[in-house]
Structure 1
């Protein structure tokens, strides 16, 4: 083999290797990175309580849930057990939480206006202060309803915050989702 033949073979090999590497990096770019799973708050709380011995916790929860579902235990399913039974791939989700991490899904927020047909110039609503929920009101001086109160963070509550002391307002349908 002379120098010219060697250079030609080296150039062809370089082209083949470069093409191979380009194809390989293109495939690597197509691989999905594992994503954190998004779970309800009660699942995250259960996971945090049980993450140090997750296998045992899953097994014992499944066993207890099985007893409840099959009538061996008269207790009702708690929220997590219901999720474990009815959520598709719930055990896989718990494993993914361990492997890839997780995020807690944000709870739906609501505003609660309490109607008062005798005071059209006033709006009564629920608001949160120092962790407690109260009934507040706002007067419209120009007698035109002002809906700015809905945008204030202290007036945006979760379902559980509303139901804790104002179950009646929830049942009456006064809670409206924040858009």
Structure 2
């Protein structure tokens, strides 16, 4: 028996007799008082709970969630069914994320209904090593997919089609991975706000 039910049993009961039998009822003022007391206790207990941190997810997971939140259970089921029919090399980023046990994907997805934070990808620059002027970096023109080496700070830094800061995934895609572990370049993390 709950505390509310115990308190309810303590309230005086009125009995009304009528032609069919009788009816027991509680005085409305007493019940309202008991409910108000319970509400106050609930608010107090809620204030003692520690706020739960919002889950941090990659942007592509946030996009998938927003597109599928109306049919979340079915969408999760579909992902797992699709994953069982595909080879590892055919999986999408979202499926790979779901498949990684460290992500606690089901728990994370259901916590996202209360809000979430989109993970900021770690960015790097590829700095040219062994040069007299150690301020030369790899740049990529995304429109032409051509690379060039130039100074780090130019007025068009990372605007439009030209950029020099990349995620690890993007580095692996430049010229089909030519700059992954390339000894001519040093991987330099980009600081926040830089």
TM tier relative to shorter chain: 0.5 to 0.7
**For 2:89 and 2:72, how far apart are their aligned partners in 1?**
23
Structure 2 unpaired stretches of 5+: 1-39, 159-163
Instruction: Point out the structure with the larger helix share.
Output: 1
Q: Higher relative CO (CA 8 A, sep ≥ 6), structure 1 or 2?
A: 1
- Cα offsets for 1:68-105 (capped at 9, x unmatched): 3xxxx6863332222212234211111111x2111111
Match of 1:170 among 156, 167, 180: 180
Does the CA-based 8 Å contact 2:139-2:150 persist in structure 1? no
For the residue of structure 2 that corresponds to 1:157, the secondary structure is coil
- Summarize the Cα distance change of 1:28–1:161 in structure 2 as closer, same or farther, 3 Å threshold: same
**Matching residue within 85, 102, 112 for 2:99:** 85
In the alignment, is the contact (CA less than 8 A) between 1:109 and 1:159 conserved in 2?
yes
TM-score by length of 2: 0.56
2:167 corresponds to which residue?
158
Equivalent position SS for 1:156: coil
Match of 1:76 among 80, 90, 111: 90
For residue 76 of structure 2, what is the aligned residue in structure 1? 58
Deviation at 1:169, TM superposition (A): 1.6
**What is the CA distance between 1:172 and its match in structure 2?**
1.3
Which residue of 2 is the match for residue 111 of structure 1?
125
Other-structure match for 1:18: none
1:19-58 equivalences under 5 Å are 27-58=45-76
Pairwise CA distance, 1:29:
3.3
Give the 3 Å change call, closer, same or farther, for CA 74–163 of structure 1 in structure 2: closer
**What per-residue deviation string (whole Å, max 9, x for no partner) do you get for residues 116-149 of structure 1?**
x4x41364312467887842323xxxxxxxxx75
Q: Is the 8 A contact 1:133 1:162 kept in 2?
A: no
Distance 1:104 1:86 in 2: 18
Q: In structure 2, the residue corresponding to 1:120 is in which secondary structure?
A: coil
Aligned residues: 140
Structure 1, unaligned stretches of length 5 or more?
Answer: 1-20, 139-147
| Residues 37, 102 of structure 1: 8 Å contact kept | yes
Hey, what's the Cα distance between the residues in 2 that align with 1:163 and 1:53?
35
Aligned residues of 1:127 and 1:136 also touching (Cα < 8 A): yes
Alignment RMSD, CA only? 3.4
2:114 is the alignment partner of 1:96: no
